[in-house]
Amino acid sequence: MDYKQALEKLTAAGQEHAMQYYEELTKEQQELLLAQIDATDFSVISSLKDRKEENVRGMITPLAAMQRAQICEREEEFHAIGLDAVKKGKVGAVLLAGGMGTRLGSDNPKGMYNIGLTKEVYIFQRLIENLMDVVKEADAWVPLYVMTSDKNHEATVGFLREHDFFGYREEYVTFFMQEMAPACDYQGKVYLEEKWKISTSPNGNGGWYSSMYKWGVAKKAMEDGVEWLNVFAVDNVLQRIADPCFVGAVISNQCAAGAKVVRKCAPDEKIGVMCLEDGRPSIVEYYELTEELMNAKDENGDPAYYFGVILNYLFRVADLEKIREKNLPLHIVEKKIPYLDAEGRKVKPEAPNGYKFEQLVLDMIYELDSCLPFEVVRNKEFAPIKNATGIDSVESARELCKENGIEL
C-alpha cells in the first residue's frame, strides 16, 4: 500500500490524523505505518454507532446442565470413551494466551507469572503439569496449540523455550497469533502509540479458530486427525485439560460442543451462565442477568440459571469449520489506552480513555446446534487468576492449590 492508498483508506474511515507525523518519519517507519494501515480493519470502530443494539438478546430459557450425580453414575463409561479419543490423537488443546492481563498488572504475559511460594511455579507450568496427567494416562501426546498476540508472542515463545516447555515435547506445541484491532478515543478516533504506529489491542478470544485457520494450524490439526479442540484460558491454574471424562460425555451425547461449568457461589456471582436463547445453546453474561432470571426456578424448584462457564470448552472441529466465516458480535470495552498527546509525547493514562473491540469465545456457542454444560467440582477445577489480590486472585488461587495438595 502506498501513501496515497493509505490516505484514501484512512479518509474513508475518518482516521486521516493517523498519518499526521508521516513527513517526519524515517523511511522504515513510514513503511511500518503503511503496512499497518493496510492490515487494519477500521470497520470495527463503526460499531460504536450501533452500540444500543449490542445487547439485544433473544428469548432466554434454561438449559439443564449434566450435574455431578449424573456424571458420577456414568464416569467409567465417559472416561473410557474420552481416553480412547485422546489415545487416538483426536483431541487437541488450545491455550488462549493472547490477552493483556491488565488486571493482574504484570508487564509480562500472564502465563509467566510465578505463583510459587517456596519454589518457582509459573502459571504456564501449572497448566502443562495438568495436561501431562492426561498425556501420561493415555500414553499419547495431546497436540497443544498456543494462541499469542502481537503484544506477547516473542516473550511467550521465549519463556516456554527457556523452560524447555516444562517437560512438554516441543514438537507437540504449535504457536499461532491472534489478530489485533485498533483502539480509539471516545469519539471513535484511533489513538497513536508511536508516530508510526496506531494503538491496537488483541481482538478478544473469540477469533481463536479463524486465527488458527489463517495460520494454517487448523488445517494441519485436521490432517493430523484432530477432531476435538479443548479451548481453555491461561488463568485457571487448576483446570483439567483434555479431561477424558468431559471429552467422553460430549462425544457420548453427540454434542457439537461442551462447556465446563461450576455451580455459582451466589445468585449474583460475576460469571456467565449457560442457557438457551431462542432454543439455541447460549451464555448470558452476569451483567445481562435480570433479577427475574436470577430468581427463576427450574421444574425441580432449583435455580434455573445456576451453572457458570469457566472458559473451558470442547468444540467438534467439523462444527467449527461450519461457523468459521460467521461474524461474531463485537463487544466494546472501555480501556486505558497509551497514546501520544497533541505534542507527540507518550501518555500512559491512569483511567480508561477509550475503547477496544473484542469478539468472545462464548459467542461461538450460540452458533452451534448443541452444547453440553458439564458440571465440575468448583474447588477442584476453578482457580482463576484475574487480579493480584482479593477475588479471583493470586492469593485465592494459591489457597485452592494448597487445598488440592499442589506444592507452591
Interaction site with ligand UTP (CB under 6 A): 96-103, 110, 147, 178, 202-205, 233-235, 311, 386
Q: Are 373 and 274 in contact (CB under 8 A)?
A: yes
Find the shortest distance in angstroms from Cβ 89 to ligand UTP.
25
Q: Which of 250, 246, 242, 249 is nearest to 133 (CA)?
A: 242
Find the shortest distance in angstroms from Cβ 203 to ligand UTP.
6
Q: Is 326 exposed, middle or buried (0-12, 13-18, 19+ CB in 10 A)?
A: exposed
Cβ closest to ligand UTP, residue 147 vs residue 289? 147
Cβ closest to ligand UTP, residue 1 vs residue 100? 100
Cβ closest to ligand UTP, residue 211 vs residue 282? 211
Find the shortest distance in angstroms from Cβ 179 to ligand UTP.
9
Find the shortest distance in angstroms from Cβ 59 to ligand UTP.
27
Find the shortest distance in angstroms from Cβ 180 to ligand UTP.
9
The residue assigned the cell 472416561 is: 79
Find the shortest distance in angstroms from Cβ 207 to ligand UTP.
8
Residue nearest to ligand UTP (CB): 99
What span, in angstroms and rounded, lies between the C-alpha atoms of 96 and 147? 5
Instruction: From residue 27, give the alpha-carbon distance in Å to each of 32, 35, 127, 198, 329.
Output: 9, 12, 44, 17, 38
Find the shortest distance in angstroms from Cβ 44 to ligand UTP.
13
Cβ closest to ligand UTP, residue 34 vs residue 96? 96
Instruction: From residue 344, give the alpha-carbon distance in Å to each of 20, 196, 248, 268.
Output: 10, 11, 57, 45
Radius of gyration of the chain (CA): 22
Cβ closest to ligand UTP, residue 85 vs residue 261? 261
What span, in angstroms and rounded, lies between the C-alpha atoms of 205 and 97? 9
Cβ closest to ligand UTP, residue 174 vs residue 203? 203
The residue assigned the cell 477475588 is: 391
Find the shortest distance in angstroms from Cβ 98 to ligand UTP.
3
The DSSP code for 147 is E
Cβ closest to ligand UTP, residue 15 vs residue 201? 201
Cβ closest to ligand UTP, residue 176 vs residue 307? 176
Contacts 24+ apart (CB under 8 A), 134-138: 134/86, 134/240, 134/241, 134/242, 134/243, 134/244, 137/83, 137/244, 138/83, 138/86, 138/87, 138/244
Find the shortest distance in angstroms from Cβ 211 to ligand UTP.
9
* SS3 at position 245: helix
Q: Are 241 and 130 in contact (CB under 8 A)?
A: yes
Within 339-393, where are the H helices?
Answer: 362-367, 378-381
Cβ closest to ligand UTP, residue 113 vs residue 196? 113
